[in-house]
Structure 1
Amino acid sequence: MTPPPPASAEVTVRPCFGHTPPAPGLRAFVERYWWSEGGAGALPRLLPGTGAELWVHWAGGVALRAPDTTGAPTPLPGAHLVCLRRTAWRLDRHGGTGGFMAVRFRAGALRHLVPVGLDELADRVVDAEDLWGAAGRRLVDRVRTATGAADRIAALDGFLTGLLAEHRRPEAWLDAAVGRVYRRPAGLRIDRLAETAGVGERRLQRAFPAAVGAGPKEFQRLARFQRLARHLLREDRRDYLPAALAAGYYDQSHFVREFRRLTGERPGDVLGRGLSHFYYRPLPDGGQAGPLPTRKELP
């Protein structure tokens, strides 16, 4: 018989996850909805990157621990938005067993759903009620009183559809430019990007911070790091050098310096720990892939 763990040992209970695409009219802006329920133990770190997500909790909660302090973590609002990050964040659970829905936005899409520039939201956790007022408060109430995933998803569909009608912005060239940097950051020249977009380089430089939270060159560096980190974590690999070279890093020391600059740690201290739920394999633009549940299959 296997002896029980010592009383002081931390027991990790894995949460249950689900995924689904949003309503068809939102798929150009939202990559997926995903949710987590139950579980215990430490949450994985949120590494630096360009990604934006909205979390809405119906049970428990999450607290943010500053990376450079040992003080008590700060509890986050019941619904909060996380945007572009230049540092790694540590998250803790609080308030008992957790349950939340999350919206994963496509690169550059969040600008069509918020009343302010993304340069005002970068490196912050933003309360949904502070950003969207009564609509953000109603979303929290509906998610908390919902009877299941289908009802919560309907609440998100309605909320985001309303935001899109109110805040959708022009400049399709900017969406295309952001998408190109995000999908193929390795070796991309910003002056060539402006030429392809049909605008001057100065206009491109001015437009990027409000659209994504950083200038085009910094966005490119963060996107390269994020895409490589996601690949390495998803594949659970420590032999990172071939992938780093393919991603556009000059050599091993270049990647190690960049990794330490952004996370404060060496690659070997972070990689090889298995898949984090922040790094799911992307869904295609048209909807779901593989065994992910369809909207009709949701409880």
Structure 2
Amino acid sequence: MQPAVKAFFDDATNTISYVVRDPQGSSCAIVDSVLDFDYASGRTDTRSADEVIAYVEAEGLKVEWILETHVHADHLSAAPYLQERLGGKIGIGENITIVQDTFGKVFNEGTEFQRDGSQFDALFTEGDTFMVGQMRGEVMHTPGHTPACLTYVIGDAAFVGDTLFMPDFGTARCDFPGGSSENLYNSVQRILALPEETRIFVGHDYLPTGRDEYKWETTVAEQKASNIHVGAGASKDDFVSMRDARDAKLAMPKLILPSLQVNMRAGQMPQPDDNGDVFLKVPVNKL
């Protein structure tokens, strides 16, 4: 089955969110939503999420799933806002508990912060399946960028999050806590073992040199042939050496501190204080 896929590009974070629709009905899933956040002012905005809502409502769609490919470090999730407006269950990989444990300590969250993934409606593991109308989705555990990364294969479409980018940009960084360039290489090989005609939808595009328009859809065949990091039969040893050296020079994402605190809570803000005010923490010398 070939799902209809509508992409929404967020200029501020170079993130692509997707609405994945059953071509034989009105059911859909939303993948990797964005809550706008201005770090300087500490203010949130729902412009990006409202675009998704407007599309879903205009098309008369029923949201069954709000899916996260992983705990994003570069944008905040709008999952709770979308769920309140549109319904659907929020799903992520079961290894969210590892991420919660790691960053619960980094942000000194204390015992009030549950580290069991209970903030999410569903915790997926390798081989799990789910339905979007008449379409069956399959779950692949594809760690490396983070230990909780998933690829969702729905019909002929694979939503890979940050594991792979467009062929001319390569692959995700692996230097976050719990990341592993060796695991990423193995995960990519599993994705590239899907049928060559499988459509791959990436989580970000950064407009590399030589290209003048953003892109987010490719295929397994194109990735195998020309991905600059893993294409043309690149060896694991060469990839690990390249990836580790490259990651050592990368700066932290601009929104990593607010993103992790919110996204490990399924998009919810930390509990407000007695006055109803919400605060995010800035740990010093922790990352």
Tell me the TM-score normalized by structure 1. 0.29
Structure having the higher strand fraction is 2
Structure having the higher helix fraction is 1
- Which of these two proteins has the greater Rg computed from alpha carbons? 1
Tell me the TM-score normalized by structure 2. 0.30
> Which fold has the larger relative contact order, with Cα–Cα distance below 8 Å and residues 6 or more apart in sequence?
1
